[in-house]
Structure 1
């Protein structure tokens, strides 16, 4: 699947969302500015003032190809999603004693480093050899394996903790991934799953990255409302301890089109959850009978 990075349409969408969310009780001057901007941008020619450069081709890649291309720059890109996710995950991990920990869909090993630093013996699994090469370099003491989230190369009941960060949303069906995490974690063990919040995916679409000299690409994120997660976790026999939904922190992607319309972009996302974090537990046989 291919398309085009349409700057005018994206700018108009953000302006419209900011206007929609503030239409009832927003500041009059702010609302007038949004309407003025929408008129000005709608009448302008794409690729010309007042727009920043745009118009690059956009391709959808599968997870293996996408993360192979993304791996070279992944760790260097600032991310508001990661910034709001990490403190929540850290607070959950404070309650987990060191043991054998799985970093599922580990990517470059961001969570692997954290887990190793907390005294866990880390196993990282990812389908991208390019991402795994980065993870091995970042956490040499880890055991990193090629594998898929819905077919983990681990034995049943073989880890005490599993962390899966910003990856399950790539699955069209959450159930196989949830079942695999439940399978490999011992009874009484913990699972932490984080994802882009479905609100963000539904409103913003896909996360783009540079692919090649003059092209953008994305790996599809599917919209899974909280009820879908609850259904998948329930079918896997998991207990939900807590669900956290950290909010947008005001950071816009440096150099992105939203910086061009920063007031509207911050108003569009203000107060919305941008990440969802699930704190889960595998019940013991005794707990499962109660």
Structure 2
């Protein structure tokens, strides 16, 4: 399914969000610039980066098959604020058997193996697994889905799932699977796109093929959705982290074109929600 990349509307939305957040106590010059920019983008036919391009919605299998070719080359503020949290948790855990669920190109697989964990990476995309084998060759890999993990019951000490559950319409099946494969007393680390970000921004675009834009749909899961899924799976929440926007804008994108407004719009907004969980002994 294709749609138009409505970059002017996105630019106006960012300008409006910055204006909304600063309207009460913002600097007058900043507020005036936002109003002037909105007027300019509404009234002019100014060419904006990517304007008029087509955008395809892909399912997770097709999307990540395409995305795998460039995934590791793209700077990401989401990954930059997420990784220190995951690494700090892993540094506190004794090495043992580990699962990287929806491992993608092996980012967390490498973090686990480098800390001495005997790691299995699972992903539904063979193309992503090929990249993971290059990035973390000491791990084992299996094709599989979050909702039906190809591991035995109580077979790992630690399970990590990074930035993947947002693509699922509901959480219960995947959370229950993680709880199933982790031993009593073991730990689960789940990170995901923060519901604030998905509610405000929606989808993350990438270049599909030579020039086509595409996305794999993100679904909004509120903290209460996670907590209810954890309770139904019998998991104990040990900690929740919500790291904030770090100031990085996607290079070459429309937000860089309106950087002052974009940074003001996202300042103080959490990008990621990260959960540290345990399986009762």
User: Does the TM-score normalized on the shorter chain lie above 0.5?
Assistant: yes
The runs of 5 or more residues in structure 2 that have no matched partner are: none
Q: How far off is 1:75 after superposition?
A: 0.4
1:134 equivalent in structure 2 = 131
With 36-45 and 98-107 compared, the bigger mean Cα shift is at: 36-45
Instruction: State the alpha-carbon separation in 2 of the partners of residues 253 and 21 from structure 1.
Output: 21
Which deviations, in whole Å up to 9, do the C-alpha atoms of 1:155-183 show, x marking residues without a partner? 00000000000001111010000000000
SS at match of 1:193: strand
1:60 to 57, 75, 80: 57
Cross-structure match for 1:224: 221
The one-character-per-residue Cα deviations of 1:57-92 (angstroms, maximum 9, x if unpaired) are 111111000000000000000000000001111111
Q: Is the 8 A contact 2:5 2:50 kept in 1?
A: no
| Conservation of the 8 A alpha-carbon contact between 2:49 and 2:253 | no
Partner residue in 2 for 1:104? 101
Q: Note the C-alpha offset of 1:52.
A: 2.9
Q: What is the TM-score of this pair, normalised by structure 1?
A: 0.96
**How far does residue 214 in structure 1 lie from its aligned partner after superposition?**
2.6
Tell me the equivalent position of 1:288.
Answer: none
Q: 2:81 aligns with which of 81, 84, 88?
A: 84
Q: What TM-score, normalized by structure 2, do the two folds share?
A: 0.99
Aligned equivalents of 1:53, 1:277: Cα separation in 2: 32
Aligned-pair Cα RMSD in Å: 0.8
Match of 1:20 in 2: 20
Distance in 2 of aligned mates of 1:217 and 1:52 = 16
Q: Tell me the distance in 2 between the aligned counterparts of 1:142 and 1:263.
A: 43
Regions of 4+ moved over 6 Å: none
* C-alpha distance after superposition, 1:96-138 (max 9, x if no partner): 1000010000000000001000000010000000000011111
- SS of the residue 2:176 aligns to: helix
Show the counterpart of 2:190: 193
Tell whether the 8 Å contact from 1:124 to 1:143 is kept in structure 2 after alignment: yes
Aligned pairs, number: 281
How far apart are 1:7 and its partner, in Å?
1.2
Is contact 1:57–1:214 with CA below 8 Å preserved after alignment? no
Deviation string for 1:11-46 (max 9, x for gaps)?
00000000000000000100000000000101122x
Provide the residue aligned with 1:70 in structure 2.
Answer: 67
- Residue number in structure 2 paired with 1:211: 208
1:89-168 equivalences in 2 (<5 Å): 89-168=86-165
Q: 1 CA distance for matches of 2:127 and 2:51?
A: 29
Q: Secondary structure at the match of 1:229?
A: helix
How many Å separate the matches in 2 of 1:214 and 1:72? Answer: 14
